[in-house]
Structure 1
Amino acid sequence: MNNIHITQSTIIWGIYLMVILFLTIRFFPKKSINLYQERGKSSLWILISLGMFTSIFNFSSDLIFLEATAKDGFSGLWLLSSGIFAIGFSPILFGPFWSKLKLSTENEFCVFRYSGTGAKSLQIFRATYLGFIVVPILISFQLLAFQKFTSILFGWTSQESFYVTISLLGVLLFKNSFSQEVRINTLNGFIQLSAMFLVLYFSLSSIDIPLFDFWKQFKIEHTELIKLVPQSNHQNNTNDLWVFLLIQWWSISILDNSNIHAHRFMSISSSWKSFLAIFLPTFIFLGISFIRSIVFDSYVSSHPNWVVNIYDSLLGMYTYNIPLYFKPIIALALLLAFITSLEELFNWGSSMLNYDFYKGYINTKAADKHYKYSGYLFMFILLLIGSVISIYQTSFLPLIKFFFTISAGVGPVFIARWFWWRVNAWSQLSAMLCSLVYTLIYDFCNDHFLSFKNVTLALSDLLNISDFYTKLITLTLSVIATWVTVAYLCPSDKVENLKKFYSVVKPGGIWPWDTRKDNKILAKKILWVILFAIANFTIVLGGWILKFQNHLYGLFLILISILIFFIGVVRLKKIIV
């Protein structure tokens, strides 16, 4: 077990908690109907950007990546890397779109974009579906990771770690609000960045041969680990990779950021500042990801048994060669990453349940103070549900795969609703509902009907893909067919409602009026979305080639990608308005 100096840890944690206590008392919300923000209130984009970085810079994702790498090597990471191609969607398209909207919650978009009974039904369904099912699953990821981490860090038993984790989060719920989150995440971002550069410095210091020679030796010793193409029976299975490249990344991902980030975008005063707030932390994260890969390589080369306990390996990876007096800072950064992610999820889930569901349709006339405390109650309920889910989970990957399947085919409707007038509330609702129902039906038939299982296995053999990807393709096609059919069968939204939405956002696309001027701008944006996706994929591939194939060629690919990003930022400043 990695030992952290108790006295230093106490001092550092004490200073941090005093700062948090000051910010909590200073900015405690005295009057608020939801736990995010007052309508129309703006925040500095640089603070929002640091908050975005803190959210992206999530050590619990390291646990998932370590588990996938331990199982399938680097090729197992494709399953978890949907964001590679999505890098341009948020800063170029949807972040600026959201910044034009000043809604109380992102779920209020349902009644702004759509009209009639369908809009209200979708708002209620999405608030309860996400609040009581999706968000608790995401919370369970973080709880499981946080519980494992504190158990290793402090030497607690699993039961002790579980109770301490739940108690700590129960206390933190009462300081949870959007304004506090922005300020505290700024502090957390500086701490996490400082910790990462400390880890990089000491990881490089521990390598006693030239770095390129180290990677050459690493390649020889870990040939199977570093393979990028998925393996099947010890043979390359490029078809799985093609499913990822062509289907998975857009099928399961909610690319329009209809999540906690939408609240951040809506608090930014302009579209261009929204672009900067999203692009800056994303670009920095590319560098941080490369730093993490160096830290991983350094740790694995000196710890051949790292796969035995990946939870111990995560802590060890960041602390094994760190001087004793720096270890408490690293431990603090790791813990902050978990806490920050959990607080964001509590905010997002309780905001929808409290504002969109409870205040909107159950108890519409209570005092503001009542809604503030009902928000805390909903956060406690989310904590309870997430805790129950985490108790019955010992591994991340099965839960991740289930989460991916209940999202299959939903991603496209969240994109189409911004650009196509035919998409209505019922089509979005059908996509969300059917993705869950079809997943449960698929699993039930696969477990109880041999003929169904034989068909899916035969299809997997025919396409030469894994069973999971057969399931993903089947669900994606079924869900898309369903919501497109519903879009045509159900009445479209009122023209005045569509015009109101379009006049605010001006997204371009297919609408029952002339949009050629906006479509020219949209075409330029889509071009840069594609170029950003290519550049991001190239920079990731270039990092791998730099380390394990050809140093100069890898460096060339990285520099070309950076050049594309730089030119893109310059050109997009004239386009994003």
Structure 2
Amino acid sequence: MPEFITYECLAQNIECEPLSAVHQLEYEEWLSVWEPKYGDQLPEAVKYQQDNRFGYIFIMRDYLPTGVLGMLLASFFAAYMSTMSTQLNWGASYLINDFYLRFIRPGAPRKTSIMASRLSTLVLALLGLAVTSQMNSIAGVWQFIMECGAGLGLVLILRWYWWRINAWTEITATLAPFIGYAFAHLGLDWVFPNSFFFTVAFTTISWIVVMYATEPEPQSTLVAFYTKIRPGGSWKPIQWKVPISENIKPGPPSIVLFIYWVLGIAAVYGALFLVGSIILH
């Protein structure tokens, strides 16, 4: 497609400069091929060629029945509001329970802690509004979230299956991506996806070093956790310290958990494509 042909010009959203004689011939030749195929939807087809992410919107508009389209839009709003609510409540719970009530005012009255929670929720919402006002695209937001959380996911999973993961490991895995992100973008001048791979490697090395440089959680804590949760995976050093009981059975071995994980992913993705196939066919 010629570079001088844009969605804005075809849709007459802006006043475009007249074409030169050469460009006019090229435009007419292109139009003779594309217009019979797309008709009135030619501007949308051009927009999709320029950025194929718009294809999702066009499919929603052109192929979904009215009721299904309304349900989809309602689900978008519900997902957005639930995400906002979760993140604000989650952040406020950290600030109040893990910081305010622990270090600033231990034993504060319930009324005071509730008021502090409401204020912290408001502050977090205002900070989020300030940050999002500086972002230019959703893709940029997702890349930022991916890179600043790069490497943390492995720790969040392994903590359930490996007794050696401690609190310092999780703290390191939470903070290290921000350092790696800043160094990759500001120091090395790398962009996504190279910066993402660097941040993952930096975070992984950091939490592994910190994990082996610090002591594991107290044995009493690990034994109590195993007794209550009975996790699978690499918990045998702790399992041997738990008294034998009919009510305490070891969790599945790691290979079985891995198979469950693969089957779970296949089930979720299969259900997504199944629903799409039923709706569109």
TM-score (norm 2): 0.66
Structure 1 distance, partners of 2:135, 2:206, is: 32
Q: CA 1:328–1:525 in 2, change beyond 3 Å: closer, same or farther?
A: closer
1:416 matched residue in structure 2: 158
CA apart distance, 1:427: 1.7
Q: CA 1:301–1:330 in 2, change beyond 3 Å: closer, same or farther?
A: farther
Which of 203, 211, 231 does residue 487 from structure 1 map onto? 211
Question: Any conservation in 2 of the 1:318–1:330 contact (CA below 8 Å)?
Answer: no
Measured on the aligned residues, the alpha-carbon RMSD in Å equals: 4.1
Q: CA 1:301–1:513 in 2, change beyond 3 Å: closer, same or farther?
A: farther
Pair 1:436-2:178 in alignment: yes
Q: CA 1:481–1:319 in 2, change beyond 3 Å: closer, same or farther?
A: same
1:368 matched residue in structure 2: 110
Structure 2 distance, partners of 1:375, 1:417, is: 28
Q: CA 1:495–1:543 in 2, change beyond 3 Å: closer, same or farther?
A: same
Equivalenced residues, count: 231
Pair 1:357-2:88 in alignment: no
Q: CA 1:346–1:418 in 2, change beyond 3 Å: closer, same or farther?
A: same
> Letter of the aligned partner of 2:214 in structure 1?
C
Question: Any conservation in 1 of the 2:155–2:170 contact (CA below 8 Å)?
Answer: yes
> Letter of the aligned partner of 1:345 in structure 2?
Q
2:24 matched residue in structure 1: none
> Letter of the aligned partner of 2:45 in structure 1?
P
Pair 1:304-2:28 in alignment: no
Structure showing greater relative contact order (alpha-carbon pairs closer than 8 Å, 6 or more residues apart): 1
Q: CA 1:333–1:490 in 2, change beyond 3 Å: closer, same or farther?
A: closer
Which of 96, 102, 122 does residue 380 from structure 1 map onto? 122
Q: CA 1:493–1:334 in 2, change beyond 3 Å: closer, same or farther?
A: closer
CA displacement 1:256-284 (0-9 Å, x = unmatched) = xxxxxxxxxxxxxxxxxxxxxxxxxxxxx
CA apart distance, 1:330: 7.6
Structure 2 distance, partners of 1:383, 1:415, is: 29
Question: Any conservation in 1 of the 2:147–2:177 contact (CA below 8 Å)?
Answer: yes
Structure 1 distance, partners of 2:205, 2:194, is: 17
> Letter of the aligned partner of 2:200 in structure 1?
T
CA apart distance, 1:358: 1.2
1:471 matched residue in structure 2: 195
CA apart distance, 1:363: 1.2
TM-score (norm 1): 0.35
CA apart distance, 1:305: 5.5
1:152 matched residue in structure 2: none
Structure 1 distance, partners of 2:161, 2:257, is: 13
CA displacement 1:71-109 (0-9 Å, x = unmatched) = xxxxxxxxxxxxxxxxxxxxxxxxxxxxxxxxxxxxxxx
2:245 matched residue in structure 1: none
Q: CA 1:321–1:540 in 2, change beyond 3 Å: closer, same or farther?
A: closer
Structure 1 distance, partners of 2:156, 2:69, is: 43
Pair 1:400-2:104 in alignment: no
Question: Any conservation in 2 of the 1:409–1:431 contact (CA below 8 Å)?
Answer: yes
Identity score, percent: 22
Of structures 1 and 2, the larger Rg is shown by 2
Superposed, 1:15-26 pairs within 5 Å as: none
Question: Any conservation in 2 of the 1:319–1:330 contact (CA below 8 Å)?
Answer: no
CA displacement 1:455-479 (0-9 Å, x = unmatched) = xxxxxxxxxxxx5232222221221
Runs of at least 5 residues in structure 2 that lack an aligned partner in the other structure? 1-36, 241-248
Question: Any conservation in 1 of the 2:147–2:199 contact (CA below 8 Å)?
Answer: yes
